Amino acid sequence: MNPEEVRELVRRAAELKASLGSPEHPQPLRGKSVALIFDKPSTRTRVSFEVGVTQLGGKALFMTSRDSQLGRDEPLKDTARVMSRYVDAMVVRTFGQSVVEDLAQWGSVPVINALTDLYHPCQVLSDLLTVSEHLGRLEGIAYAWLGDGNNMAHSWLEAAAALKLNLRLACPPNFMPDAGIVAHARERGAEITLTHDPREAIAGAQVINTDVWASMGQEAEAGARLQAFAGYTLDAQLMSLADPKAIVLHCLPAHRGEEISEEVMEGPQSVVWDQAENRLHMQKAIMEALLAPQVS
């Protein structure tokens, strides 16, 4: 995405949030259907998209591989072409990035990446909305990422590339983000710092972000990851190194006592509940931009 598209989504999501419950809240999806195709279970992603489609006047259809031909090895290109004749958009939460890309290649309707193992773009766009709400700006801020160089870290790198942000990532040696994604962000003007020291990343930062150490599908690695991530817990001691007015983000679910302490999670600098709510408003802005761009 280009900088103007990112800023417009943040602006529009804030506008939709402000108009919620009022007669002025738009319903640009009236008469439209959106398929939610989930290989991975969820709470926030599913509910925010289902409620978002409803609030915009549309109809959401939830599907998993267990109750569709996707679970019986139907080629993705066949699914994409058939679904494109039934629905107006597909929201996909899956494992491989290639699933989203294949559906987009062979389908003729918008395909929204609700999460893959490589990227989590809707979450980071929602996070940017949260930062804008609490700090009043997106640029001129030091962003710190602590933990795994995972799909969230990759999407933050993409956001940093789009907006030329100052992003510091502290990850254990064997859990660094993809080198190609880092290089791409730097080429586009992002100020990227890679370190193995959480203290270096968090020092003076205004936005502190972390995530679970073992994501869905990595449960067998949980024990080894607990050892590898020792010292990366976002606790009061680490937070004391950040800007005094820093905000704390976590995309949830959180494992208190592992990647984040109870004290920080429930503390005054935590904005994770606003962040979670903003998934709803950002999903609506994304769907509106794709399905009814003339409205925004």
Cα–chain-centroid distance for residue 252? Answer: 10
Between CA 283 and CA 263 the distance in angstroms is: 30
Query: Does the annotation count 279 as an active-site position?
Result: yes
Tokens of 25: 């809240």
Between CA 205 and CA 26 the distance in angstroms is: 37
* Residue matched to tokens 């968090």: 202
Q: Does 173 appear as a known binding residue?
A: no
Q: Does 41 appear as a known binding residue?
A: no
Between CA 269 and CA 59 the distance in angstroms is: 37
Q: Does 117 appear as a known binding residue?
A: no
Q: Does 171 appear as a known binding residue?
A: no
Catalytic residue among 251, 275, 281, 283: 251
Query: Does the annotation count 211 as an active-site position?
Result: yes
Q: Does 43 appear as a known binding residue?
A: yes
Catalytic residue among 46, 168, 250, 279: 279
Q: Does 121 appear as a known binding residue?
A: yes
Query: Does the annotation count 251 as an active-site position?
Result: yes
Q: Does 116 appear as a known binding residue?
A: no
Q: Does 251 appear as a known binding residue?
A: yes
Catalytic residue among 120, 168, 225, 281: 120
Catalytic residue among 12, 46, 93, 154: 93
Catalytic residue among 12, 211, 225, 243: 211
Tokens of 205: 């930062």
Beta strands across the sheet bearing 142-146: 191-195, 166-170, 142-146, 207-210, 247-250
Q: Does 275 appear as a known binding residue?
A: no
Torsion on CA atoms 289, 206, 171, 1, rounded to nearest 10: 20
Catalytic residue among 55, 123, 275, 283: 123
Give Cα separations from 151 to 89, 94, 96, 177, 246 (angstroms). 23, 12, 11, 8, 23
Query: Does the annotation count 120 as an active-site position?
Result: yes
Q: How many helices (H) and strands (E) does the chain have?
A: 12, 9
Q: Does 134 appear as a known binding residue?
A: no
Q: Does 102 appear as a known binding residue?
A: no
Q: Does 255 appear as a known binding residue?
A: no
Catalytic residues: 93, 120, 123, 211, 251, 279
Residues contributing to the annotated binding site for carbamoyl phosphate: 42-45, 69, 93, 120-123, 251-252, 279
Residues contributing to the annotated binding site for L-ornithine: 151, 211, 215-216
Residues contributing to the annotated binding site: 42-45, 69, 93, 120-123, 151, 211, 215-216, 251-252, 279
